[in-house]
Amino acid sequence: MAAGVMMTTSSRRRWWRSRWVWGSALAGVAALAALAALRVFDDGMVGAPPNYRARNAALRLAPLRFYRAEHPTALVWFFGNDVGFWGAQQRLARSLSERGYDVVGMDIRAWFAQRPPETVADRAAMLRIALRNLQLVAARELGDTTLPLVLAGHSLGAELALWQAATGNPRKLAGVVAISPGARSHLRVTALDLANKEPSEPGSFAVDSMVRAVPPGVRVAIVRGSGDPLQGADVALVLARPDLHRVVIPLAGHSMRHLLIAGPMIAHAIDWAAGR
């Protein structure tokens, strides 16, 4: 009788252990399926149309997308990456407009292509003037001339945002949010950028030197995916500016294509840069 009781107890234990194992396995499969479904839904290539069309002819010719807020508190000028102002960035811009920002998204690849050939003697000076003038026209178009400006960008666009903040004297600049910047950059798009390689040709620059040169009082944030292969650049960036605000996004790489986690964290970094 005792042996029978012991066997029954042992069988029950095995049954409960088997049920726990299978339950854990099914829960894991369900979690993976849900994550896969969210990744499909959160496709970084799916864009968002702008909600405003510029009246100014020069702005309509420029590779810009306008996302207007009902009651804007700041203007965010968002530089796209070396591929363009792609889907994830468009959706982020739309969500920022819903958060109270006027956003101008800039396709820097197309904008660089519109510039004169590289035989121009002082490319940096020419780009600096053209960019500042374009931003002034856009601010007047939107009625944002009294609002603070936040420069933001991704990858090469992040490096361009830091370069302008350091050298371009943008009007009413409050902060910079650089998403996935590298250690070196340049003012053009080449095959090196598409391969995430650092440029070294004449005219290229160290990104930490730009961070160091951003005027005091302008807030600088670096947003980095925890799996970004370029995150080693952050050591020099943090040393260049002790008050730099660094945000690390879990489960994110360099591209920031998926906004489920990254979107709200980037938005908070922009809030910080705008002084909100």
- Residue-wise pLDDT tens digits, 68-92: 999 999 999 999 999 999 999 999 9
pLDDT-based confidence at residue 31 (cuts at 50, 70, 90)? very low
Per-residue pLDDT, averaged over 88-114, amounts to 97
Vertex 90, ends 163 and 186: CA angle to 5°? Answer: 25
Distance CA 150, CA 144 (A): 12
What percent of the chain lies above the pLDDT cut of 70?
Answer: 82
What percent of the chain lies above the pLDDT cut of 90?
Answer: 75
pLDDT confidence of residue 158: 98
Question: What ranges do the domains of the chain cover?
Answer: 1-41, 45-274
Closest CA to 211 of 228, 236, 185, 230: 236
Q: What is the pTM of this model?
A: 0.84
pLDDT confidence of residue 20: 58
pLDDT-based confidence at residue 249 (cuts at 50, 70, 90)? very high
pLDDT confidence of residue 11: 66
The larger pLDDT score, comparing residue 22 to residue 206, is at 206
pLDDT-based confidence at residue 45 (cuts at 50, 70, 90)? low
pLDDT confidence of residue 39: 46
- Residue-wise pLDDT tens digits, 111-170: 999 887 765 568 899 999 999 999 999 999 999 999 999 999 999 999 999 999 999 999
pLDDT of 34 higher than 80: no
Alpha helices in the chain (DSSP H): 2-41, 57-61, 87-98, 108-114, 123-142, 156-167, 191-194, 207-213, 234-240, 259-274
Average pLDDT for the chain: 88
Pairing, β 184-185 against β 205-206: antiparallel
pLDDT of 13 higher than 80: no
pLDDT-based confidence at residue 4 (cuts at 50, 70, 90)? very low
Give me the CATH topology for the region 45-274. Answer: Rossmann fold (3.40.50)
pLDDT confidence of residue 194: 85
Per-residue pLDDT, averaged over 230-253, amounts to 97
Question: Which residues is 153 bridged to in the sheet?
Answer: 79, 178
State the sign of the Cα–Cα–Cα–Cα dihedral 47, 52, 57, 59.
negative
The larger pLDDT score, comparing residue 93 to residue 33, is at 93
CB-based contact 72:100 (threshold 8 Å)? yes
Per-residue pLDDT, averaged over 191-211, amounts to 92
Per-residue pLDDT, averaged over 15-43, amounts to 50
Per-residue pLDDT, averaged over 22-31, amounts to 52
